[in-house]
Structure 1
Amino acid sequence: MAITVLVTGADGFIGRNLIHYLASRNFKVIAASRTVSDFKHPSAVSAPLPDLATPFDWQPLLEKCDAVVHLAGIAHRFADEEQYNLVNHRATEALANAASRQGKHLVFVSSIAAQSGSFSQAELTEDDPPKPTNSYGRSKLAAEESVRAARGSFTILRPVVIYGQGEKGNFSVIHRISGLPIPLPFGALKAQRSVLSVENFSSAVVLVLTEPRARGEMFIVSDPTPLTVPDLISRRRATLVRAPWLLSVPENWMRVFFAAAGWTGLWQRIGEPLIARPTKLLALGWKPTLSDPNSDLMNAPRK
């Protein structure tokens, strides 16, 4: 009998890819989001969600599913602490309590930001004390604590930055500039960053939905091999049949330039390290399949 999964935040980059991944693997999916979309798959049906900053009765949706993957939230926006708290923390708390009462397994998709800032000189593991550095990370950590406090069946995932069809943020920028027919000054950057393909993320979700040993646990999710910015650009340009064309401008010069331009935050995300390996998830039996950020990851249609 197919498992029915409620996926919140279904209309975002991660959600749309996950919906198609689950539906193509014999899951039945209730795709819940503020913007109702037709996913054009017989195993996926859409359902509306309100603004999660307002109270919401989860029970009618939970009665239709066996498990929940909670993606919905605020990320990469100019929001204040209260907005992050309402949407990322309190709405998750309400969902966790409702899922616990109805005996539904909840997969809460948190973020590596709940554990660390934009970079870390030490390699991160699940056992490290969490030290979020911004409102987003603090709201995700508070939501994790609420999920545990609900005393229901749960799994918490802390993915690193995710790439794939429809990607946003740093990956989208790097891929765009990699397509420019000009030399780029990033050849000397040596900082390794853990990244995650949206297909590998989706396969991790399937594992924790079906593996009883994942219940009550928290997992870092990332591709097994971290990469550098020169790696990303070189691989992207190789797909365009171009040479890497990277200039080795000293890192100190780059750091000073980014600071003078007011881009310190961007520098921390590309010039500083953040390694978080999926060792615990691999020990559970996870078998990631993709490791190239320039692969054609999914055939899900764009909006």
Structure 2
Amino acid sequence: MSPTPVDRIVITGATGFIGRALAARLPGFTPLSLAGERWRDVLVATDLRGATVIHLGARVHDPHGREEAFRADNAVKTQALAQAAAAAGARRFVLASSVKVFGEESPPGRAFDERDPPRPEDAYARSKLEAERAVLAAGIGHAIVRIPLVWGPGVRGNFRALLSLAASGVPLPFAAIDNRRSLVHVEDAADALALAATHPEAVGHAWSAAPADPVSTPGLVAAIRAAMAMPPRLFAIPVGLLEAAARLAGRGEQVLRLTRSLEADGLPLRQVLGWRPTRSLEGDLAATVDAWRQERP
């Protein structure tokens, strides 16, 4: 079955990194902002009748990792929006979630899939899992898209930090890391969300927007440095020693994100909904690097 036309689309987070790419695919959408103290009043005033609601708005970073901040912005607001959409007779509710609801490390030798029980390990992931459960409890036709680490021009967060680290030119002790991490380009993530909003078979499922080609940390750093016209400059130390040194330096959590595997199974999204991620590190990373350079002070 193919995607079907949708009359009305309401998008939260339309000015964000993924939201801008999604908005370009869905002209005529209605933006909805749930930021600010009066967000409940804004929600009450928004007409959701017959609409497809795509909920991208979320707190992704908090300098203090406060549980209550993530829960307020990600779980409580999702619950209110899903309940309002259900009460208004909205057509479908699409939630942008995270593969981190599965945990921070995928099982040895395989990717996370929908049969794996959720085991979120940080405040952000716990809030996204609570948001997923709120959507299910609202009793509305829904689709959940679990997104891995996103890259592309204008990227922020952890991938941007990795760009800065690679640009430093410092030799990095990552050569012995043998892991697999799912990454998705922002345009491919937007395609996945658009399919979740329009495809008849998307309803009632959680989909992982993970391309078929996970990357290792040394492979990613080498690709970034190649896009920067730099040599890889990687050397090997035992991974256990690297992790122990990072813990002593108070950076254990950050380094574990580089040494562990976090791979999700995107095959159902590709097979059932026909998702075709087309961007690759080899072909598209240079544009990300160029945009990052232009944005630097």
Deviations 1:214-237 (A, max 9, x none): 011111111221101111111112
What is residue 39 of structure 1 aligned with on the other side?
none
Q: Is the 8 A contact 2:12 2:57 kept in 1?
A: yes
Partner residue of 2:46 out of 52, 61, 64:
61
Q: CA deviation at 1:135?
A: 2.3
Q: Is the 8 A contact 2:48 2:85 kept in 1?
A: no
Superposed, 1:219-238 pairs within 5 Å as 219-238=207-226
Instruction: State the distance in 2 between where 1:267 and 1:247 align.
Output: 16
Helix, strand or coil: the match of 2:46?
helix
Partner residue of 1:281 out of 255, 262, 269:
269
TM-score for both structures, normalised by structure 1: 0.84
Determine what percentage of the aligned residue pairs are the same residue: 30
Instruction: State the distance in 2 between where 1:63 and 1:71 align.
Output: 16
What is residue 93 of structure 1 aligned with on the other side?
79
Instruction: State the distance in 1 between where 2:35 and 2:225 align.
Output: 42
In angstroms, what is the RMSD of aligned CA positions? 2.5
Whichever residue aligns with residue 148 of structure 2, its letter is V
TM-score for both structures, normalised by structure 2: 0.85
Q: CA deviation at 1:3?
A: 4.0
Unaligned runs of 5+ in 1: 34-48
Larger mean CA deviation between 173-182 and 69-78 belongs to 173-182
Partner residue of 2:69 out of 83, 87, 98:
83
Q: More relative contact order in 1 or in 2 (CA 8 Å, sep 6+)?
A: 2
Superposed, 1:147-162 pairs within 5 Å as 147-162=135-150
Deviations 1:167-205 (A, max 9, x none): 122211211222223432222211111111111100101
Deviations 1:255-300 (A, max 9, x none): 122111111111121111111120111121111111317253699x
Helix, strand or coil: the match of 2:257?
helix
Q: Count the aligned residue pairs.
A: 281
Partner residue of 2:287 out of 293, 296, 301:
296
Q: Which runs of 4+ in 1 moved over 6 A?
A: none
CA shift in 2, pair 1:164/1:260, >3 Å: same
Q: Which has the higher helix share?
A: 2
Instruction: State the distance in 2 between where 1:15 and 1:81 align.
Output: 24
What is residue 15 of structure 2 aligned with on the other side?
11
Deviations 1:97-146 (A, max 9, x none): 11112232111111122221x22334311111111122222221111111
Helix, strand or coil: the match of 1:58?
helix
